[in-house]
Amino acid sequence: MDINTLKTRVKQAAVVGSAVAATGIANAAVDTSEITTELSGAATAGAAVAAVAILIPLGIKVFKYIRSAF
């Protein structure tokens, strides 16, 4: 086996080895509990903002209605 063939085989082995290592890392288990907790908190905050966005115009309408009644 000459030196060029040996270099080619070493490069091929390095590529295969790095591909196997990358596959193992990519398939590692991911802890999603922190993400789920953050999304739950964001949903609660979003609901509060939506409620305020609905209640403020409603309050203005009711105030104008009551004021016009007297």
- Which tokens belong to 25? 């890392």
The answer, as to whether pTM is greater than 0.75, is no
Q: Which long-range contacts (CB under 8 A, 24 or more apart) does 43-46 make?
A: none
* CB environment 35-52: b (16+ within 10 A), e (fewer): eeeeeeeeeeeeeeeeee
Count of residues making up the chain? 70
Where exactly are the structural domains of the chain? 32-70
2-56: pLDDT as tens digits: 777 877 877 777 777 777 776 666 566 677 788 888 888 888 888 999 999 999 9
Residue 63 has pLDDT above 70, yes or no: yes
